[in-house]
C-alpha cells in the first residue's frame, strides 16, 4: 500500500466513521499496519538486494550482516513509517474537523474530492510501479 492509497483510505474512513471514534481508530490501525508492513518490506528487500553481496564479499557472515545492518536499517525505516503515518492521519483528522466546523454543508463533498484525488494518485502510482523495470530503479 503506497502513501496515496493510505491517504485515500484515511479520508474515506474519516467520512464513514465520523461519529464512532473507536471504529475509526480500529480502521486507522489496520491502514497503518498495512502501510508500514508494505513499506518496510519493500525497503528491506531493496536494501538486502543492494548491499548483501557487498558485505558478504567484505568477509561478513550472513548473521553479522543481518544483525548489524539489516535490523538497524529496519528499525529506522519502521520509525520513519510510523511517524509519517501518524502525522498524516492527524492532519487529515484536523482537516476533517475544521471543514465540518467551517463548511458544514460542503464538508462531505470536499472530503469525497480529497478521497478521489488520493485514490486516483494511488492507482496511477501502483500502475507505474508495476510497469517499471525493477532492476533499473534507483535507491
Give the residue carrying C-alpha cell 525497503.
43
pLDDT reported for residue 102: 92
Could you tell me the three cell numbers for 100?
Answer: 465540518
Rounded to two decimals, what is the model's pTM? 0.66
With beta carbons less than 8 A apart as the criterion, state whether 24 and 17 touch: yes
pLDDT reported for residue 135: 58
With beta carbons less than 8 A apart as the criterion, state whether 7 and 88 touch: yes
Distance CA 4, CA 20 (A): 24
Q: How far is CA 27 from the centre of its chain?
A: 14
Residue-by-residue pLDDT tens, the chain, 139 positions: 677 778 888 888 888 887 787 888 888 888 888 888 887 777 777 777 777 777 778 887 777 777 777 777 778 888 888 888 888 888 888 888 898 899 888 988 888 898 888 888 888 887 777 666 555 555 5
Domain boundaries, the chain: 3-128
Task: Tell me which residue of 91, 49, 87 sits closest to 70, measured CA to CA.
Answer: 49
Amino acid at each position: 500500500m503506497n502513501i496515496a492509497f493510505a491517504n485515500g483510505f484515511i479520508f474515506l474512513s474519516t467520512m464513514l466513521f465520523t461519529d464512532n471514534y473507536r471504529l475509526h481508530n480500529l480502521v486507522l490501525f489496520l491502514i497503518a499496519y498495512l502501510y508500514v508492513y508494505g513499506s518496510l518490506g519493500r525497503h528491506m528487500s531493496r536494501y538486502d538486494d543492494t548491499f548483501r553481496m557487498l558485505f558478504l564479499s567484505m568477509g561478513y557472515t550472513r548473521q553479522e550482516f543481518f544483525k548489524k545492518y539489516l535490523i538497524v536499517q529496519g528499525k529506522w525505516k519502521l520509525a520513519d513509517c510510523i511517524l509519517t503515518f501518524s502525522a498524516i492521519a492527524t492532519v487529515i483528522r484536523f482537516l476533517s474537523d475544521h471543514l465540518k466546523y467551517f463548511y458544514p454543508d460542503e464538508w462531505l463533498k470536499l472530503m469525497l474530492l480529497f478521497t478521489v484525488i488520493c485514490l486516483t494518485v494511488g492507482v496511477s502510482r501502483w500502475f507505474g510501479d508495476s510497469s517499471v523495470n525493477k532492476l533499473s530503479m534507483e535507491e
